[in-house]
Structure 1
Amino acid sequence: MTVETHPLIPVARSLADDLLAPRAAEVDQGTVPASHIEAIRRSGLLGVSAPKQYGGAGAPDSVAREIAEILSGACCSTWFVQTQHHTPVRMLAKSALPVRERLLRPLATGELLAGIAFAHVRAFPKVPVRVTPERGGWRFDGTVPWYTGWGLNDVMLLAGVTDTDEVVFAFTEAREQPGLTPSAPMRLAALTASVTVSLELDGLWLPDDAVVLRTPQEKFALVDLPRNTNASPAVFGVAYAALGLLAGAGEEEAAGALRGRLDEVRRQVYELAEHPVPHERVAERLALKTRAYDLMRAATTAAVVARGGRAMDLREPAQRLAREGMFLLVQGQTVEVRRAHLDALAEI
């Protein structure tokens, strides 16, 4: 079965064409509606990478990447809310701890939607969230700077670092509770609709059976490396959507030239993503990631230029895609990624 013939691909395209793209401008100026989340729950897309024996599709990563491109190009805010879900699913699928049997099936089937609250762990040796053993469980204290999907997610995957530099990942309900207080939703230059908040943790206690993974920080950093050094499929999704606008404005030649270059970078990025040792060839991954950023920026800029003054209307998709592209430049950014990107920009 090829990527295009996988049954979830037409499901994603139908969802994008019939629901997400027609309402993207409206969502951009408001909030991802519960009806969008409900449609994604029913679609089966939340289980794309989950094991079949738990109700998922067990699809290869190539299918998951294609779906991410389709959704992000249609409505990046909706894509961003649902994309948080897939890391907890993958982590549960690899876990042998009791929480797997409690949560993997409802997450794989879309009964529950998960968010993530662990990007701050990448700031190590800074420790924004400290975890301490307490009463047969774990106490979390500190600040989660970013948490997306507040009010839309059912559960969150939270992480912090112990005094011995061990990273503890545990699940809790995505709601205000003793020891967990959300901020007001943030007003962002792009993806405000994703309902992103910060979380103040002051003695949040989670039982030991909520834990899905405990791992040394060094090991986590190694496993986490490809998540940040590989270009996100959303970069290509937004870029291709912008090229569609460019061609629709009568600039087929410019769109075709950019598409050819984007296709080649995409091919190289995904080929490297399938490399059997995911933490190798980091310099090459970063070079391709920055090249993908360049092409996304060119595509979204070209769409704005082609639309002219009309692009400044907030209802216009060209400027929305340009703002979404700006967001993707810093999404999941690490010090290493920032340095590589800035160095590449300095050579332009």
Structure 2
Amino acid sequence: MTTAAHPLVAGARLLADDLLAPRAEHVDREGVPASHIEAVRRSGLLGVSAPREYGGAGAPDAVAREVAEILAGACCSTWFVQTQHHTPVKLLARSGLPVRERLLRPLATGERLAGIAYAHVRSFPRVSVRATAERGGWRFDGTVPWYTGWGLNDVMLLAGVCARDDVVFAFADAREQPGLRPSPPMRLAALSAAQTVSLELDGLWLPEESVVLRTPREKFAQIDIPRSTNASPAVFGVAYAALRVLESAADGAETAGALRARLDEVRRQAYALADHPVPHEHIEERLALKTRAYDLMRTATTAAVVAGGGRTMALSSPAQRLAREGMFLLVQGQTAKVRRAHLDALAAQAHEPERTFAPPR
């Protein structure tokens, strides 16, 4: 990895090796405990990208990516809860509205943990949550299909679409309250441990002072393009973790070495594009690298299962957990454009010429 000298990377490795990875299978079955989140808080990782003047680390994007890889590879459920936090922090850092001074410091220092409730905006023209100006603030009505970290987060970044098709982003307390009711925790094929619920909004009212951004939906879609089209560091983190499992198998070292070389190259190219100064350029290349990263992650987790044999079906096996986490990452943050690109890539693979074998004599 390229940023090993940074103290936050060293801290993430220590946290992963001493706590997250040894407990990952237990957490996968029982849920992310508050003690894991507290350990992430103490490590300073919640402020990795936050401004220094507000108590954050102000670290480069390369450091934030590597921290994400390490956490996701050690315990994807814990990574997924804490990764929600970083988007609200970045949005507050760019905002000039009063909510910045109220929330940025406690979020940057890790005193408070934020979650996000805005992925539904990507499904436009379907509007899952409607925002209506009312009484000097905003009323939110509808359903947030997915909200991760319920019971662990302190605040949430909520978005709704108003009558002019603007998107309103505002902060709310992450607790049951008048106008906000959570579902029971969802039982999912992977990452149930991240305590994901849906939220029913029936007249949740938030004051204007809670708003961090109001922007045309088309502008939000443009801002969202790099986030959705770049390869996720978590994909690389899970893939590398699977290769480590594969390397430990009796006959897996050669396969792991070949896959690692390919993964290293895709990672290098993907991160070079992520650092490109114009985030809305090279979209097709970004998507192609994203799908190649998916393919390599899927191959690495499959190889870990194959090398481990029947014992990988036990819930105590990291191979089966990583395979399920990889399945989750295939659809995490998915947009219609990403889904189409991925399906097209899979279809192209299906049309590749098949190898033929001569019958035995």
TM-score range (shorter-chain normalised) is over 0.9
Post-superposition CA distance 1:11-53 (Å, at most 9, x none): 0000000000000000000110010000011110000000000
Between the aligned partners of 1:302 and 1:63, the Cα distance in structure 2 is 29
Pairwise CA distance, 1:3: 1.8
Pairwise CA distance, 1:102: 0.3
Q: 1:96 aligns to what SS in structure 2?
A: coil
How is 1:288-299 mapped onto 2 (pairs within 5 angstroms)? 288-299=289-300
Between the aligned partners of 2:171 and 2:40, the Cα distance in structure 1 is 22
Indicate the residue corresponding to 1:306 in structure 2. Answer: 307
Between the aligned partners of 1:239 and 1:6, the Cα distance in structure 2 is 22
Indicate the residue corresponding to 2:113 in structure 1. Answer: 113
Indicate the residue corresponding to 1:232 in structure 2. Answer: 232
| 2:108 alignment partner AA | A
Indicate the residue corresponding to 1:317 in structure 2. Answer: 318
Pairwise CA distance, 1:72: 0.2
Post-superposition CA distance 1:176-235 (Å, at most 9, x none): 000000000000000000000000000000000000001000000000001110110000
Between the aligned partners of 1:233 and 1:303, the Cα distance in structure 2 is 20
Indicate the residue corresponding to 2:189 in structure 1. Answer: 189
TM-score, normalised by the number of residues in structure 2: 0.96
Between the aligned partners of 1:197 and 1:257, the Cα distance in structure 2 is 40
Work out whether 1:339 is the aligned partner of 2:344. no
Q: 2:96 aligns to what SS in structure 1?
A: coil
Indicate the residue corresponding to 2:259 in structure 1. Answer: 258
Work out whether 1:88 is the aligned partner of 2:97. no
Indicate the residue corresponding to 1:67 in structure 2. Answer: 67
Between the aligned partners of 1:161 and 1:103, the Cα distance in structure 2 is 23
Indicate the residue corresponding to 1:20 in structure 2. Answer: 20
| 2:165 alignment partner AA | D
Between the aligned partners of 1:231 and 1:30, the Cα distance in structure 2 is 29
Between the aligned partners of 2:253 and 2:233, the Cα distance in structure 1 is 23
Between the aligned partners of 2:233 and 2:207, the Cα distance in structure 1 is 35
How is 1:132-147 mapped onto 2 (pairs within 5 angstroms)? 132-147=132-147
Between the aligned partners of 2:60 and 2:127, the Cα distance in structure 1 is 34
| 1:134 alignment partner AA | E
| 1:287 alignment partner AA | A
Post-superposition CA distance 1:281-302 (Å, at most 9, x none): 1111110000000000000000
Aligned-residue RMSD, C-alpha: 0.6
| 2:312 alignment partner AA | A
Pairwise CA distance, 1:6: 1.0
Q: 1:171 aligns to what SS in structure 2?
A: strand
| 2:98 alignment partner AA | P
Between the aligned partners of 1:174 and 1:106, the Cα distance in structure 2 is 15
Q: 1:181 aligns to what SS in structure 2?
A: strand
| 1:138 alignment partner AA | W
Post-superposition CA distance 1:96-123 (Å, at most 9, x none): 0000000000000010000000000001
Post-superposition CA distance 1:247-289 (Å, at most 9, x none): 0103111000000000000000000000111111111111000
Post-superposition CA distance 1:297-322 (Å, at most 9, x none): 00000000000000000110000000
Between the aligned partners of 2:81 and 2:256, the Cα distance in structure 1 is 29
How is 1:45-60 mapped onto 2 (pairs within 5 angstroms)? 45-60=45-60
Pairwise CA distance, 1:5: 1.2
Between the aligned partners of 2:126 and 2:24, the Cα distance in structure 1 is 37
Between the aligned partners of 1:54 and 1:41, the Cα distance in structure 2 is 15
Between the aligned partners of 1:112 and 1:66, the Cα distance in structure 2 is 23
Work out whether 1:210 is the aligned partner of 2:210. yes
| 1:184 alignment partner AA | P
Q: Percent identity?
A: 79
Between the aligned partners of 2:245 and 2:6, the Cα distance in structure 1 is 27
| 1:337 alignment partner AA | V
| 2:113 alignment partner AA | L
Between the aligned partners of 1:302 and 1:4, the Cα distance in structure 2 is 27
Q: 2:189 aligns to what SS in structure 1?
A: coil
Q: 1:347 aligns to what SS in structure 2?
A: helix
Pairwise CA distance, 1:150: 0.1
Unaligned runs of 5+ in 2: 350-361
Indicate the residue corresponding to 2:130 in structure 1. Answer: 130
Pairwise CA distance, 1:125: 1.1
